[in-house]
Amino acid sequence: MRHRKDRRLTVWLTEQQRHQIEARARQAGLGLGEYARLAIVHGRIFPREALEEIRALRIELNRVGVNMNQIARRLNMGDSVRLCEVLEQLSAVTRILKEVEACTRS
């Protein structure tokens, strides 16, 4: 749900500061107002591409979680599980976490 923006905040900047903020907004793929709001409220801005990649990684991590749950269910039912299956899933988690870290590094 979008909230109606009904308050204005005026900030005085030097010309150089304005150019820096405009360049960062362009780099993040955001409009100046949206960039400024996000920077003020959240303190850190991620480029749209990084956010899209993080969303994709979240989906992939969810799939790994499903696989781990299936392995746990099999173990709880007394079935055997090959160690390589578990290691493969743990390796996938490690890889995904490294990719997330790379996306969020500024």
Number of domains in the chain: 2
Residue in 53, 34, 59 with CA at minimum distance from that of residue 45: 34
Residues 40 and 70 reside in one and the same domain: no
Residues 2 and 37 reside in one and the same domain: yes
Residues 54 and 98 reside in one and the same domain: yes
Q: What pLDDT, on a 0 to 100 scale, did the predictor assign at position 106?
A: 53
* CA contacts within 13 A on the Cβ side of 87: 3
- Token pair of 66, please? 């499903």
- Token pair of 106, please? 């500024």
Residues 29 and 7 reside in one and the same domain: yes
Residues 40 and 63 reside in one and the same domain: no
Residues 58 and 91 reside in one and the same domain: yes
Give the domain extent around 70: 48-104
Residues 37 and 57 reside in one and the same domain: no
Q: What pLDDT, on a 0 to 100 scale, did the predictor assign at position 27?
A: 84
**Residue-wise pLDDT tens for the chain (106 aa)?**
677 888 888 999 999 999 999 998 988 888 999 889 888 888 877 777 777 888 899 899 999 999 999 999 999 999 999 999 999 999 999 998 888 888 777 5
The string over 25-57, giving b where at least 16 C-beta atoms fall within 10 Å of a residue's C-beta and e elsewhere, is: beebebeeeebbebbeeeeebbeeebeebeeeb
The pair phi, psi for residue 39, each rounded to 5°, is: -65, -40
